[in-house]
Chain A
Amino acid sequence: TQLLEQSPQFLSIQEGENLTVYCNSSSVFSSLQWYRQEPGEGPVLLVTVVTGGEVKKLKRLTFQFGDARKDSSLHITAAQPGDTGLYLCAGVSQGGKLIFGQGTELSVKP
């Protein structure tokens, strides 16, 4: 069974701080996706990383896929209250199935 472990599960920081969320697995994935989910809404795709070692930037968010395609990280620079939400990583298996981690609940206080 493929599992994805996210850490930390909860993160509460002040506006302007930096943070990193980790997504780890013992399994290899063909690609990995990061989603953000706000209360009362469904997850919204932020990025897909495909190649081992790949780094993608989305404004203040930096996503990295591990060289072995088993892990990923999300780094947010100078966090803002609007970044508050549940961040989910999802591994895509060879068969195209999406397996979600348990999520990281981020709270950014002004």
Chain B
Amino acid sequence: EAGVAQSPRYKIIEKRQSVAFWCNPISGHATLYWYQQILGQGPKLLIQFQNNGVVDDSQLPKDRFSAERLKGVDSTLKIQPAKLEDSAVYLCASSPRTGLSGANVLTFGAGSRLTVL
């Protein structure tokens, strides 16, 4: 079974520029997550999709971050304009469970490391 694919693995940009990250989840997984992991911290959920609908985006800074999962498969996370504090690893994860009850089993991608100068 192929894992969660993410690209690019590394990106360096200057503040106020824009950047986009792409994620292809495990085939058949209905739920897709984007997490932000700042160095020295645990992952923080940015947005959760169930198929192509948003389940939770309460911690997404909507003035600069946007995400879409148009066909319920792969997803794109965009940051525009980037700030210095956006430097982090952006992790994508997918799960076959709806998450409404019981424990989710998430499979994470390797992440996209963003450095904002």
Residues of A within 8 A of B (CB): 4, 6, 9, 30-31, 33, 40-45, 48, 50, 88, 90, 92, 95-98, 100-103
Write the residues of chain B forming the contact surface with A, with a CB cutoff of 8 angstroms.
4, 40-45, 48, 56, 91, 93, 97-111
Q: Determine the chain B residues whose CB is within 8 A of the CB of A95 once the complex forms.
A: 99-100
Beyond A6-B42, A95-B99, 16 additional contacts (C-beta under 8 Å) are A33-B103, A42-B93, A45-B105, A50-B102, A50-B103, A92-B103, A96-B97, A96-B98, A96-B99, A96-B100, A97-B45, A98-B104, A98-B106, A102-B40, A102-B42, A103-B42
- In the complex, what distance in Å separates the CA atom of A42 from the CA atom of B45? 14
B111 touching A42 by the CB < 8 A rule? yes
B103 and A44 within 8 A (CB): no
Closest 8 CB pairs of A and B: A42-B108, A96-B99, A100-B42, A31-B103, A48-B103, A102-B42, A100-B43, A103-B42
Q: A101 — which chain B residues lie within 8 A by C-beta? A: 42
Q: Name the residue of chain A whose CB is nearest to the CB of B31.
A: A96
Contact status A88-B43, CB under 8 Å = yes
Residues on A with C-beta less than 8 A from B104 are 92, 96, 98
Complex-state Cα separation, A101 to B45, whole angstroms: 12
Kindly count the residue-residue contacts between A and B in the assembled complex, taking CB atoms under 8 Å apart.
62
| Beta-carbon contact of A98 and B4 below 8 Å | no
Assess the B45–A98 pair: CB atoms within 8 A. yes
Residues of B with C-beta under 8 A to A97: 45, 48, 56, 99
Cβ B102 vs Cβ A45 within 8 A: no
Name 24 A/B residue pairs within 8 A (Cβ), A-sorted: A4-B42, A6-B42, A30-B103, A31-B103, A40-B110, A42-B4, A42-B91, A42-B93, A42-B111, A43-B91, A43-B108, A44-B108, A88-B42, A90-B42, A95-B99, A96-B99, A96-B101, A96-B102, A97-B45, A97-B48, A100-B44, A101-B42, A102-B41, A102-B42
Taken together as a complex, chains A and B put the C-alpha atoms of A96 and B41 apart, in Å, by 21
